[in-house]
Structure 1
Amino acid sequence: MNATLLSKEKTEVKFSFEVSAEVLEKGMAFSYNKHKNQISIPGFRKGKVPRKLIEAQYGESFFYEDAVNHIFPEEYMAAVKELGLDVVSTPTLDVDYIETGKGAKFLIDVTIKPEVKLGQYKGLSVEKVVSEVTEEEVLEELKTVQAKNARTVEVTDRAAELGDVVKMSYEGSVDGVPFEGGQSDEHDLELGSGMFIPGFEEQVVGHGLGEKFDISVKFPEQYHSGDLAGKDAVFAIEIKGITKKELPELDDAFAEDVSEFSTLDEYKASILEKLAKEKEEKASQIQGDKLLDVAVANCEMEVPQVMYDNKIDSMMKEFEENITRQGLSLDIYCQYMGTTPEEMRENFKDTSVKSVDARLMLEAIAKEESLAISQEELEAEICKYGESYGIDGKTMLEMFREEDKEALEMDMLVRAAMKLIEETAIFTEPKAE
């Protein structure tokens, strides 16, 4: 590999690299095999036209584009590695020359990670986050479990109240004209859940089984359906059923029914232990975030915008994959939430900046402190990763590619740098309100 750094201006780099005639020939052969079945020349069957004849007919450059596409990725990565560049953008490519028997030379423009000038990151002082669990929080958890185990009872002797589930039919209209999606013959609605537009559920309260009545509502100005946004509507309602939840008693029998414990006191103690662990983990996360904010503020770095954009792309992709697993598309989600992908990207901006800045700083700390991950530690982490997917360690080690190992090792170094910040931090008692 013959790679040459041409210029470096902060995070913008220009370099060149050459490939040999032999490497270019591999690309030309690939390109020929790709196209030969699509080319017809009198006297030859498709796929049997000699390459030299095609080049004579169409010019040698006929095969250049696919030849370059074939050889470029591997040769480019070798050049990047030779120059020791930490690239964060897609390269812009120009061909200086390309010729069979001579090879090719490529001119590249890329963006690399910025240099980080570290400030103080050891001995940082932040307030300790309180993680004590109150009796009220334990009771709230008990009530949540109690509600989940409530039985449903039909109501026939009174009107609907907040908290009841009403089975109803409805038909909505604007200016006397029914609108699409505004009808249902049987719909279960928990009154007070806020699932319908403001004012709807409150007007159902007070009506009894079998009643038919109209309610008037106004669609929100930001309603996801533009045809209905801000408009007045009337819904014709018929109540076909009312049910309520009947809560079980909070006693030893309840504890035995919903848990592995035989008394309510034992069950409450287990809830206290669980909540305490959750609060400690949350407090540790909040304290860690505070430490990162302080340490990053002490740094100096000029981060290229492409790194923030890449992080937003990654966050958008992860979010879309999550909602896809729930059976939704991004377009449908945006319609339901009254937003757009562009607005979502905008909302991810602050998070992307904090995430990228913190990662760059932690990588710099790992380098400054000469932190290292042993082969045994790396392999143990790979095995642990495999176990989370039900794959045995040996198989996972065989599956892991070299670039995957490098990425995992860097993640472990970042965690080690974060641990260093936390272990040297000074946590002060929170100020009294």
Structure 2
Amino acid sequence: MKTDVEELTPTRVKLTVEVPFDELKPNLDKAYKEISQQVSIKGFRRGKVPAPLIDKYVGRGAVLQEAVNDALPELYGRAVEEKELFVLGQPEVEVTELNDGEQFAFTAEVDIRPKFEVPDYDGLEVTVETAEVTDEQIDETVDNLRERFASLTTVERAVEEGDFATVDLAATIDGEDIEDASTSGYSYEVGSKSAIEGLDDALIGLKAGESKTFTSTLVGGERAGEEAEVTVTVQSVKVKNMPELDDDFAQMASEFDTIGELRDDVKNRLDRQGRMQQLSDARDKALEALLEKVEIPLPEKVVEEEIGRRNQQLEQQLQMAGMTKADYLKDEDKSEEDFDQEVADAAALAVKGGFVLDQLAVQEELGVENEELSEYVVTQAMQMGVAPQQLAQYLTDNNQLPAIVSEVLRSKALNLVVEHVTVKDEAGNVIDVEAVRRELNGETGETVEAETADATDTDTTDADAADADTTEAPEAAADEAAAGEPAGSRDEDKKDA
């Protein structure tokens, strides 16, 4: 087999492959056997029809086509391996010659990872935030914990800001009732501005049983964006009662006997969280610093696919939250053009980061052991809340193991970069990343990477959660769409053999 490579662009090549016809013999034999199982010719059982009769009744051309289709994947893979190409995605294949008994030839155009060398990364320096726990942070965390144990009590007075009002809402447009904009028994925190515009002002001063009508723009439903007359009726007014910050509260809300012990535990958790954030930031910034030293062309199709993946994920999250992209952009005060550009820039950075880490793994001759794959699967299974065996079976059945190997390799390559980078906090103190990682791992017996984000639940408040009905915007998905993920677990840039 003879293979020539023509560079169309720095990220796309055209393979021209010529194959002696006798190399197709195994494929021809297989084709005759499969066709003989499908045809019925008088005097012969299925699977026993001789080749000359198949040529006569079915046609030699059909056999050749079957053989070529069977041979192409293997021949293409051999050509890629022979020329040591790191291909991306599926090739565009064209059969250019098929002379029966003489020669077979085809071309394949495919995107490739650009050829480059990762420069020396010794001496890089990055700065991360100082992991210092303040009294204000401890107070805020403890207050959030108090919020979780707060209770609501009905009061006989007019609504004030900060109250929880149980209300009925009804909307009309030109006298027509808008059913999907009406609700009953809705618990709303007055002053939170988390519902339609004008509701907070309308509620202030109303007592149970009283109503008020105001004009507002509907934010959801079939008539979203239209102005409507909204009538709010107060069913009840409740105030939030926070528990006293004393030893009784500590015993109720935790395993500790005193408020001092609870605060000490919160401080330790925040300190651990801060140091974990330092490790995460060190990895991100080390990669950013390395990428600044590398200039490489990026395949347009691969970047476009990454943009599409990010937008699709955002769309799914928005749908789950009952929001539109327009709603999100309004909340973030961004134009669609600015947001799309952010996503495009982040996607390009992610693709570039993947290329750089892949090449670094090759240069440093990094490999992945079975134990490392098992550890990765166990960690992911813990975060997903499924059995490791179940996740491993899913990955195997869906041919995701190559992508997992790629992600583990990239993580190892990034760890290697971090080892050679000087990490300082904002105060100028040098941070021994490996020592911090060992210390954190020793505290839990788990790898730091397996740690979930917020051990203290500082973002969760449920002042009578059944009474407080709020919808959380999918900021994480939107931020991910517009943020770089250079070391992500995707197989758009793995080598196809």
Question: TM bucket by the smaller chain?
Answer: 0.7 to 0.9
1:372 aligns with 2:366: yes
Contact 1:213 1:237 in 2 (8 A): yes
Q: 1:16-415 maps to which residues of 2 (within 5 A)?
A: 16-17=16-17, 18=19, 20-27=24-31, 30=34, 60-61=60-61, 71-98=71-98, 104-155=104-155, 157-219=156-218, 227-229=223-225, 231-316=226-311, 323=317, 328=319, 333-334=323-324, 337=327, 347-368=342-363, 370-373=364-367, 378-388=369-379, 389=381, 390-391=387-388, 407-415=403-411
Amino acid at match of 1:95: V
Structure number with the bigger relative contact order (C-alpha 8 A, sep ≥ 6) is 2
- Secondary structure, counterpart of 1:300 in structure 2: coil
Question: How far has the Cα of 1:174 moved from its partner?
Answer: 2.3
Greater shift, 80-89 or 94-103, is seen at 94-103
Change (3 A) 1:64 1:206: farther
Contact 2:3 2:15 in 1 (8 A): yes
Amino acid at match of 1:385: Y
Question: How far has the Cα of 1:185 moved from its partner?
Answer: 3.3
Task: For 2:247 and 2:68, locate their aligned partners in 1 and report how far apart those are by CA, in whole Å.
Answer: 75
The equivalent of 1:425 in structure 2 is 421
Task: For 2:356 and 2:134, locate their aligned partners in 1 and report how far apart those are by CA, in whole Å.
Answer: 37
Question: How far has the Cα of 1:318 moved from its partner?
Answer: 5.3
Change (3 A) 1:48 1:361: closer
Contact 1:3 1:83 in 2 (8 A): no
Query: Over residues 69-117 of structure 1, what are the superposed CA-to-partner deviations in whole Å (9 max), with x where a residue is unaligned?
Result: 5554444334323332111132111012347766843210001001224
- Secondary structure, counterpart of 2:245 in structure 1: coil
Question: How far has the Cα of 1:293 moved from its partner?
Answer: 1.9
Amino acid at match of 1:430: E
Contact 2:256 2:262 in 1 (8 A): yes
Contact 1:21 1:104 in 2 (8 A): no
Contact 2:138 2:267 in 1 (8 A): yes
Task: For 2:426 and 2:234, locate their aligned partners in 1 and report how far apart those are by CA, in whole Å.
Answer: 54
Question: How far has the Cα of 1:228 moved from its partner?
Answer: 4.1
Change (3 A) 1:429 1:166: closer
Question: How far has the Cα of 1:137 moved from its partner?
Answer: 0.6
Contact 1:128 1:429 in 2 (8 A): yes
Amino acid at match of 2:193: G
Change (3 A) 1:30 1:149: farther
Change (3 A) 1:187 1:3: farther
Contact 1:210 1:240 in 2 (8 A): yes
Task: For 1:70 and 1:188, locate their aligned partners in 2 and report how far apart those are by CA, in whole Å.
Answer: 64
Question: How far has the Cα of 1:278 moved from its partner?
Answer: 1.2
Amino acid at match of 1:357: K
- Secondary structure, counterpart of 1:193 in structure 2: coil
Contact 2:212 2:232 in 1 (8 A): yes
TM-score normalised by the chain length of structure 1: 0.78
Question: How far has the Cα of 1:23 moved from its partner?
Answer: 1.4
Give the fraction of aligned pairs with identical amino acids, expressed as a percent: 22
Contact 1:209 1:240 in 2 (8 A): yes
Contact 1:114 1:302 in 2 (8 A): yes
Question: How far has the Cα of 1:200 moved from its partner?
Answer: 1.9
Contact 1:91 1:109 in 2 (8 A): yes
Q: In angstroms, what is the RMSD of aligned CA positions?
A: 3.9
Task: For 1:31 and 1:190, locate their aligned partners in 2 and report how far apart those are by CA, in whole Å.
Answer: 72
Task: For 1:336 and 1:243, locate their aligned partners in 2 and report how far apart those are by CA, in whole Å.
Answer: 34
Amino acid at match of 1:274: R
- Secondary structure, counterpart of 1:192 in structure 2: coil
- Secondary structure, counterpart of 1:91 in structure 2: strand
Change (3 A) 1:175 1:16: same
Size of the aligned set, in residue pairs, is 406
Question: How far has the Cα of 1:127 moved from its partner?
Answer: 2.5
Query: Over residues 231-288 of structure 1, what are the superposed CA-to-partner deviations in whole Å (9 max), with x where a residue is unaligned?
Result: 4321122212222321111111111111111111111111111111111122222233
Contact 1:164 1:191 in 2 (8 A): yes
TM-score normalised by the chain length of structure 2: 0.69
Amino acid at match of 1:258: A
Question: How far has the Cα of 1:54 moved from its partner?
Answer: 8.0
Contact 2:167 2:236 in 1 (8 A): yes
Question: How far has the Cα of 1:319 moved from its partner?
Answer: 5.3
Question: How far has the Cα of 1:418 moved from its partner?
Answer: 2.0
Change (3 A) 1:191 1:61: farther
- Secondary structure, counterpart of 1:131 in structure 2: coil
Contact 2:210 2:234 in 1 (8 A): yes
Contact 1:21 1:102 in 2 (8 A): no
Change (3 A) 1:405 1:210: closer
Structure 2 gap ranges (5+) = 330-335, 382-386, 429-497
Task: For 2:35 and 2:153, locate their aligned partners in 1 and report how far apart those are by CA, in whole Å.
Answer: 73
Query: Over residues 367-412 of structure 1, what are the superposed CA-to-partner deviations in whole Å (9 max), with x where a residue is unaligned?
Result: 33x3433xxx61211222343433469x969x869x8666545434
Question: How far has the Cα of 1:5 moved from its partner?
Answer: 2.5
Contact 1:24 1:103 in 2 (8 A): no
Question: How far has the Cα of 1:315 moved from its partner?
Answer: 3.6
